[in-house]
A and B are shown apart, each in its own frame.
Chain A
Amino acid sequence: MRTLSSPPPRGEVEIRDPALDAGERISGGGNISAQPRTRRSSASSTSPQGGGFAWRFVFAVGITAALVGPALAQQPTHAPRQLEARPAGARPRLAPASGSVAEPGGAAILIKNGRVYTVGPLGTVDHGDVLIVGGKIMQVGQDLTPPDGAKIIDAKGKPVTPGLMASATDLGIVEVQMVAESNDSGPGLDSGRFDADDTAGPHEPERAASAAFDVADAINPNSTLIPIARIAGVTRSLTTPDIGEGVFRGQAAVIDLGNGPHLVDKPKAAMVVNLTTGGGQNSRPTLWATFRETLDDAREYWADRAGYHRPGGASNQRAAQIDLDALEPVIHGSEPLIVNVDRASDIRQAVAYAQANHLKLVILGGAEAWQCARELAAAQVPVVLDNDLNLPTTFSDLGATERNAARLDAAGVTVIFQPQADDPGHYARTITQIAGNAVANGMRWDHALAAITANPARVFGIADSYGTLEPGKDADVVIWDGDPLDVTSAPTAVFIKGQNIPLVSRQTRLRDRYRDIGAKNPPFEYR
């Protein structure tokens, strides 16, 4: 156990690095304690969500006072101070009205005595409490007093984090990868992704542009993958079309992994494009020509959309109208454009094109991104990656290394982790292992946690409501039995939008069905 060299005053934010408990030394001595996120640093950072800070502050305090009422008055003085530190993204529309307490998941819940990693400006709150009311986080601090009737959960000093977000997964759109009718992950059936042991499955060519493909059309809240992921602490997913043939793969959505029936939190959260050659894909110049032409088409089309079918209008466009429609927010820079590339030269080319055309670029894959880390940081281009991929699997990723995330992070690039990339839906739960391995290879622990919470929330446009433990946000909260990034740890409680999620899945049911094989008079299925 290592703590700050000079212990913070009681009630201040203490930030510790669980990695250090495991004997891990972070190169350069740059452990988290060098830059504790104190109230001071948060005050200077103000709100990333833009203006209205003071107004929202007043609003949040008002709502809190109305709801928590007398409880607040009994608070030790430092607790309200922590709330003052950052009412944060408590936009009025998100703050719960007092009448919403009766909604599903609306009962007040107080998680007490956790090591609360807020991933927000409060940093880490030791002996911290999280108050959930009406599905939202109402308060984070020490020694909070619960409102009458609140359910109280003792975290017993264990880590408490925001629910995790797995990015670039097929959660909700695939049940069994190689069962075609259960696989909605791409514009055409492409079951070519499985272990080397296996052999390629059915394969169909796909049309070049499928920008209109939208995963939101296929999200299945009853998928067994969803409980399996969420009982491992994953509460959100950026669900993306898979990376197959063709350039435009379609539109991603942010979903939550709650009880449904409506899981889509943000449709059209990003457009996915594949500019990687190989695997039946065309050569780079062909991919780029298609990519540029389609976006040119979209600009021309949107310049005179009403004239599309008129003589001389844009109806001679190569791309289908539905695809051009889908590209509107992309060409206007409001929807992130996720480009799947690994080679450093491809990444640089994507950055240059995005800058010239004012696109909101996100790199997916990025095996060699570390080679252009400074350019990515300067252009503020985030990278979504499975950092475990360290083999030269093609001539496009010869520079793959497990130090990728650490180097990108050190250069100031926003890093977001993808779960085990060969099947990121079924393996959404590997997101913590991938983050942990990035730490083992030099990344700051707190930054690795942000790469599976606050970073994807910000990049994919849901930071108002998710990503940190801050008043006003959805109560996606996980209590862990150990360091959340270590492989032996698991959640002991999971809340999604305030709902206490039973730690049950099809897999736990199968486990329980077969755990007593040797019993006397076994049930029928054991014989």
Chain B
Amino acid sequence: MWGAVAIVAVTLLLAWLIIPRLHRAPPSRAEQSAADQFPNDAFPSTYKPLPSRPTIIRNATILTGTDREMTHASILMQDGKIKAVAAKVPEPPGVVIIDGSGKFVTPGIIDIHSHLGVYPSPSNEATQDGNEAVNPVTAYVRAENSVWPQDPGFTRALAGGVTSLEILPGSANLIGGRSVVLKNVPSRTTQGMKFPDAPYDLKMACGENPKRVYGEKGGPQTWMGDVAGYRIAFQKAEEYRAKWRRYWKHGGDRPDRDIGLETLALVLDGDIPVQMHCYRDDQMATMIDVAKEFGFRIAAFHHATEAYKIPDLLKKNHICAVMWADWWGFKMEAYDAIPEGLAMIDHAGACAMIHSDDPIGIQRLNQEVAKAMAAGRRMGYRITRAHAVAWMTRNPAMALGILDQTGTLEKGKDADVVMWSSDPFSVYSHAEKVFIDGALLYDRDNPKLSPRSDFEVGQENNANFGGAGQ
């Protein structure tokens, strides 16, 4: 008995030492202390900010991501952080000063829904690593174990101003596995890209895809079958968690470990929110009830083509809508999408944002936001660009739980910054310089600062241009 207690105590101590600060803004955890028993970081981040020099972009139009537009303003980046955003900023010794006249500065773009690395370019049988479509519930897989860091899509996204992105498993499964948040830096390893301290998310999927994949392979065959699938999975997770809690409290035989149920238990504990692929409004409403039944948190509905029909429900339940500007009609559940959807949700006071789900779309999320903003304006909403920029910066950071680190241009945050050649909501604007943690990762005017993946090395006969595809 005392031996067991000692083991638990040592385990607790080790866990406390080894896995500090794993959880975003930890709330009062008195009720949840047992959850810390489930290990939650088997593949720790080795990301280190690249070397940088203190840098000022001077006299630019700055969209801070906090609903502010500052003209003739400057931003100082130092030691990887934003040190100041103001009309005048201090000039530390050795500072690099970039003339921002006529330029725009925004926070680095964050794409909350990408399959770069798991469905990389080139796309062939050997590289299709996004859907573990062998079982409708595969909570045991992690996107980070599929990410191929040499996907040339990362470099193209960087040239489009994307500094952070969430890589998700695909939507073949009801529960697809864990997603991972990356800083968009070149690295030999996925761990080297992994956003430090970003929470994991769980990818789940509503609707047609699981039915199509499993309808003739044992189910689910129907939407009600989908819903039953989620509930059965979380019922098992509840039982699993209860078993471990009993063990932690009372000892006895150590339960068998199940890494899938472990992930779901962390979801039940609120440590891992759910990113939920869901198109139809009625299905979203059903998922809100399922989440309430088991007490897990849905951070956002992704694709959410009909979310504009239920902004009140989304607002009340603090769930974001993650959307395209104008995709529609490719399948039945996307038939009702409208270009004004994102703006309508935002207008109702709910949380909305853009996403790509696409290696081409991720390169111009600024244009997608521009289209959504323009559609909203045409229906009479007053939407400033200072506000709309949050749809690709602040709001995704919030939904990913990394708003303390990035997503806005505020003192003390990571210096993830894009300088645009002109108003980023014009088709003619380019990301000219992209900084991640203050380091200049991409410079449109300098081919040497245009990362190139291994895959494209030695392909100069085909591609005599920079790695970012320009």
With both beta carbons as reference points, the residue of chain A lying nearest to B113 in the complex is identified as: A197
The yes or no answer to B240 lying at the interface (CB within 8 A) is no
Residues A481-517 near B (CB distance < 8 A)? 485-490, 507-508, 510-511, 514-515, 517
Q: Which of B312, B359, B374, B422 contacts A488 (CB 8 A)?
A: B374
Given A392-B463, A514-B344, answer yes or no on A427-B119 (Cβ-Cβ < 8 Å): no
- B338 to A511, Cβ gap below 8 A? yes
Report the Cα distance A141→B335, complex, angstroms: 43
> Chain A's interface: helix, strand, loop or mixed, by majority?
loop
Q: Which of A391, A488, A510 contacts B370 (CB 8 A)?
A: A488
With both beta carbons as reference points, the residue of chain A lying nearest to B366 in the complex is identified as: A487
Report the Cα distance A22→B102, complex, angstroms: 10
Q: Mark B158-179, 1 if CB is under 8 A from A, else 0.
A: 0000000000101110000000
- B359 to A391, Cβ gap below 8 A? yes
Q: Nearest Cβ in chain A — how far from B3, in angstroms?
A: 49
Report the Cα distance A437→B429, complex, angstroms: 9
Residues A29-73 near B (CB distance < 8 A)? none
Residues in A with CB closer than 8 Å to B429 are 22-23, 440
The yes or no answer to B28 lying at the interface (CB within 8 A) is no
Q: Nearest Cβ in chain A — how far from B381, in angstroms?
A: 10
With both beta carbons as reference points, the residue of chain B lying nearest to A178 in the complex is identified as: B331
- The tally of residues in B whose CB lies under 8 Å from a CB in A reads 72
The yes or no answer to B358 lying at the interface (CB within 8 A) is yes
With both beta carbons as reference points, the residue of chain A lying nearest to B312 in the complex is identified as: A517
The yes or no answer to A426 lying at the interface (CB within 8 A) is yes
Report the Cα distance A441→B374, complex, angstroms: 23
Given A24-B422, A488-B370, answer yes or no on A177-B170 (Cβ-Cβ < 8 Å): no
Report the Cα distance A510→B336, complex, angstroms: 8
Residues in B with CB closer than 8 Å to A127 are none
Residues A189-207 near B (CB distance < 8 A)? 193-199, 201
Residues A419-446 near B (CB distance < 8 A)? 423, 425-427, 429-430, 433, 436-437, 439-441
Report the Cα distance A22→B430, complex, angstroms: 11
Residues in B with CB closer than 8 Å to A515 are 340, 344, 379
The yes or no answer to B130 lying at the interface (CB within 8 A) is yes
Q: Mark B114-131, 1 if CB is under 8 A from A, else 0.
A: 010001011110000011
Report the Cα distance A305→B20, complex, angstroms: 82
- A486 to B124, Cβ gap below 8 A? no
- A390 to B469, Cβ gap below 8 A? yes
Given A178-B332, A403-B465, answer yes or no on A511-B344 (Cβ-Cβ < 8 Å): yes
Given A393-B122, A510-B338, answer yes or no on A194-B425 (Cβ-Cβ < 8 Å): no
- B330 to A22, Cβ gap below 8 A? no
Q: Nearest Cβ in chain A — how far from B374, in angstroms?
A: 4
State which of B85-93, B260-268, B454-462 sits at the interface with chain A: B454-462
Q: Which of B153, B330, B348 contacts A391 (CB 8 A)?
A: B153
Report the Cα distance A34→B312, complex, angstroms: 55
With both beta carbons as reference points, the residue of chain A lying nearest to B367 in the complex is identified as: A487
- B277 to A197, Cβ gap below 8 A? yes
Which of B359, B463, B465 has its CB near the most chain A CB atoms (within 10 A)?
A: B463
Report the Cα distance A194→B359, complex, angstroms: 13
Q: Which of B209, B311, B326 contacts A429 (CB 8 A)?
A: B326
Report the Cα distance A517→B307, complex, angstroms: 12
Report the Cα distance A411→B196, complex, angstroms: 48
- B330 to A393, Cβ gap below 8 A? no
Residues in B with CB closer than 8 Å to A24 are 421-422, 428
Q: Nearest Cβ in chain B — how far from A311, in angstroms?
A: 49
Residues in B with CB closer than 8 Å to A199 are 131, 133, 170-172, 209, 212-213
With both beta carbons as reference points, the residue of chain B lying nearest to A507 in the complex is identified as: B338
Residues in B with CB closer than 8 Å to A517 are 309, 311-312, 348
> Chain B's interface: helix, strand, loop or mixed, by majority?
loop
- B465 to A487, Cβ gap below 8 A? no
Which of A176, A429, A508 has its CB near the most chain B CB atoms (within 10 A)?
A: A176
- B428 to A439, Cβ gap below 8 A? yes
Given A196-B357, A199-B170, answer yes or no on A401-B463 (Cβ-Cβ < 8 Å): yes
Residues B329-348 near A (CB distance < 8 A)? 329-332, 335-340, 344, 348
Given A394-B124, A401-B465, A437-B364, answer yes or no on A487-B427 (Cβ-Cβ < 8 Å): yes
Report the Cα distance A393→B357, complex, angstroms: 15
- A178 to B172, Cβ gap below 8 A? no
With both beta carbons as reference points, the residue of chain A lying nearest to B172 in the complex is identified as: A199
The yes or no answer to B67 lying at the interface (CB within 8 A) is no
The yes or no answer to A402 lying at the interface (CB within 8 A) is yes
Report the Cα distance A175→B331, complex, angstroms: 9
- B170 to A440, Cβ gap below 8 A? no
Residues in A with CB closer than 8 Å to B121 are 391-393
The yes or no answer to A462 lying at the interface (CB within 8 A) is no
Report the Cα distance A429→B426, complex, angstroms: 16
Report the Cα distance A24→B459, complex, angstroms: 30
Report the Cα distance A402→B335, complex, angstroms: 30
Q: Nearest Cβ in chain B — how far from A513, in angstroms?
A: 9
The yes or no answer to A379 lying at the interface (CB within 8 A) is no
Residues in A with CB closer than 8 Å to B463 are 392, 398-401
The yes or no answer to A518 lying at the interface (CB within 8 A) is yes
Which of B123, B326, B330, B430 has its CB near the most chain A CB atoms (within 10 A)?
A: B330
Residues in A with CB closer than 8 Å to B152 are 391-392
Report the Cα distance A193→B358, complex, angstroms: 13
With both beta carbons as reference points, the residue of chain B lying nearest to A278 in the complex is identified as: B124
- B331 to A194, Cβ gap below 8 A? yes
The yes or no answer to A372 lying at the interface (CB within 8 A) is no
Report the Cα distance A155→B398, complex, angstroms: 43
Given A196-B357, A197-B277, A510-B336, answer yes or no on A426-B329 (Cβ-Cβ < 8 Å): yes
Q: What are 10 A-B contacts with C-beta separation under 8 Å?
A: A24-B421, A176-B330, A197-B170, A199-B212, A390-B360, A391-B359, A398-B456, A398-B462, A399-B463, A440-B429
Q: Which residues of B contact A (CB under 8 A)?
A: 102, 113, 115, 119, 121-124, 130-131, 133, 152-153, 156, 168, 170-172, 208-209, 212-213, 277, 308-309, 311-312, 326-332, 335-340, 344, 348, 357-360, 363-364, 367, 370-371, 373-374, 378-379, 421-423, 425-430, 455-456, 459, 462-463, 465, 469-470
Q: Which residues of A contact B (CB under 8 A)?
A: 19, 22-24, 175-179, 193-199, 201, 225, 278, 344, 368, 371, 388-395, 398-403, 423, 425-427, 429-430, 433, 436-437, 439-441, 485-490, 507-508, 510-511, 514-515, 517-518
8 more A-B residue pairs beyond the given contacts A197-B168, A391-B359, A488-B425, with a C-beta to C-beta distance below 8 A: A23-B102, A196-B119, A393-B121, A398-B463, A401-B463, A403-B465, A423-B327, A487-B425
Closest 5 CB pairs of A and B: A436-B427, A23-B422, A196-B119, A398-B462, A399-B462
